Amino acid sequence: MPSYYVVAVVAFIGVLWLLVALPQRRINRRHAEVVAGLEVGDRVVTAGGFHGVVRELAEDTVRLEIAPETVVTLALGAVAAVLAPSQEPGTGDGTGADVDSDRGSSS
């Protein structure tokens, strides 16, 4: 087998590593920072799409209130993002002005 085949295969593996492994490491690092910065009272969204408020933090779990008096326990890894106050559901600018009050009516 000529040596340029070996060089080509090594170069291909190197490019593949740059395109796949490095971006995934960055994503994992950002997610770890988000989880490490969680505090009680933060509004979060989970990987499953639940929106809620952090009520209690443990070493590897989080208790999340997803509705009044409805608290679920999830793995910390299930928290996908912390929402800023302006990103609360139905309040694009934080005022609630973007919610269509007559959504069900037809015109």
Q: Which CATH number fits domain 39-96: 2.40.128, 2.20.28, 2.60.40, 2.30.30?
A: 2.30.30
pLDDT at 94: 44
Q: Is the pTM higher than 0.85? A: no
Over the stretch 7-22, which tens digit does the pLDDT of each residue have? 999 999 999 888 888 8
Please give the Cα distance from 31 to 21 (Å, whole number): 15
Q: pLDDT (tens digit, 9 = 90+) per residue, 93-105?
A: 444 444 444 444 4
Nearest-CA neighbor of 51 among 66, 39, 30?
66
Tell me: the pLDDT tens digits for 17-72? 888 888 889 999 998 888 888 999 999 999 999 999 999 999 899 999 999 999 99
Element (H, E) at 14: helix 3-36
Give the domain ranges of the chain.
1-36, 39-96
pLDDT band at 2 (very low <50, low <70, confident <90, very high): confident
